[in-house]
């Protein structure tokens, strides 16, 4: 039987791979003995070169780097949220509950060298002492308040604490206890500088100014972002300030609720800042992840 070159060419790849039967192999070899065209085709098949593999791995490295950055940002976000929850929990457990005056919780003693010693029992987790000179500069007036908290009540009792009102030998004219409920201060030591007229220690209000500034900043930044939403640099910078003011508002709400008055405003302000920091970082991390996701899907 006469076999055409087309048939031989079709089965030559199988011939090279030794995948033909003995009869077919014999047929191919007989044909090749007198067909130069098929011989040349066979040589071409033998000298066939594979397409070189691209060894440039820079795209893979970029993908790997992108995945690593995303994982790092996700880990940072999770850590910030965890820190924020921990801080909020601590703020709740250590939120002060002012203690009404009781001789059992606070006692005063005068030492031989003129020091006035203050003893706080273990029912007191914190205290605040204000000092100011009398009008005639004959000495100093002191106002003391104490507080307890959930942590101290339920988890870990405080130790008995002592402090000296006048470590530098100041003349102590009066010592009052203020109960942080709007009632008159109670004279604990010395003379009544108001001669029975009564003294009331008012809460400090400077947290309200910070809260008002944060509200104004939030509104202004919102307006700027609406007007300049097409200018990316302006929008992004304003958005960061917006998140900062929103973080302060939320932190104030967590620490102080809906009130702005405080009998220990400095401590409360630092507590607000402590909550603000992880919350702000969490906002920025979420914003960065959102931009990455948006850019990837465009």
Q: How far, in Å, CA of 278 to CA of 81, rounded? A: 7
Q: How many residues does the chain have?
A: 298
DSSP SS3 for 297: coil
Q: What pLDDT, on a 0 to 100 scale, did the predictor assign at position 261?
A: 79
| Residue 218: both structure tokens together | 């939030």
Q: What pLDDT, on a 0 to 100 scale, did the predictor assign at position 52?
A: 52
> Which residues, given as ranges, of the chain have pLDDT below 70?
1, 48-57, 195-198, 297-298
Domains of the chain, residue spans: 2-54, 60-93+205-296, 97-190
Determine the distance from the C-alpha atom of residue 71 to the mean position of all C-alpha atoms in its chain, rounded to a whole number. Answer: 17
Cα distances (Å, whole numbers) of residue 264 to 43, 89, 156, 162: 95, 20, 22, 20
Torsion sign (Cα): 213, 217, 219, 223: positive
Other Cβ atoms less than 10 A from the Cβ of 147: the count is 20
């Amino acid at each position: 039987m006469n076999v055409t070159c087309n048939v031989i060419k079709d089965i030559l790849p199988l011939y090279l791979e030794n995948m033909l039967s003995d009869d077919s192999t014999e047929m191919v070899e007989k044909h090749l003995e007198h067909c130069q065209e098929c011989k040349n085709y066979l040589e071409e098949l033998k000298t066939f070169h594979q397409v070189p593999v691209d060894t440039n791995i820079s795209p893979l490295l970029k993908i790997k780097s992108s995945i690593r950055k995303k994982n790092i940002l996700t880990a940072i976000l999770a850590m910030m949220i965890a820190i924020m929850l921990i801080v909020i929990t601590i703020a709740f457990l250590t939120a002060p509950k002012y203690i009404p005056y009781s001789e059992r919780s606070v006692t005063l003693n005068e030492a031989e060298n003129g020091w006035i010693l203050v003893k706080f029992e273990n029912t007191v987790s914190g205290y605040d002492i204000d000092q100011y000179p009398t009008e005639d500069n004959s000495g100093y007036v002191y106002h003391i308040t104490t507080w307890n908290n959930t942590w101290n009540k339920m988890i870990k009792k405080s130790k008995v604490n002592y402090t000296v009102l006048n470590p530098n030998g100041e003349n102590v004219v009066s010592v009052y206890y203020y109960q942080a409920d709007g009632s008159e201060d109670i004279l604990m030591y010395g003379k009544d500088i108001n001669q029975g007229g009564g003294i009331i220690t008012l809460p400090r209000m400077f947290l309200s100014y910070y809260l008002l500034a944060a509200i104004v900043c939030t509104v202004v930044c919102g307006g700027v972002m609406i007007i300049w939403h097409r200018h990316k640099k302006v929008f992004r910078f304003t958005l960061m300030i917006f998140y900062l003011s929103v973080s302060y508002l939320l932190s104030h709400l967590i620490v102080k609720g809906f009130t702005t008055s405080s009998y220990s405003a400095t401590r409360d302000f630092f507590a607000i800042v402590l909550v603000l920091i992880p919350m702000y970082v969490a906002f920025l991390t979420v914003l960065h992840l959102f931009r990455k996701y948006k850019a990837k899907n465009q």
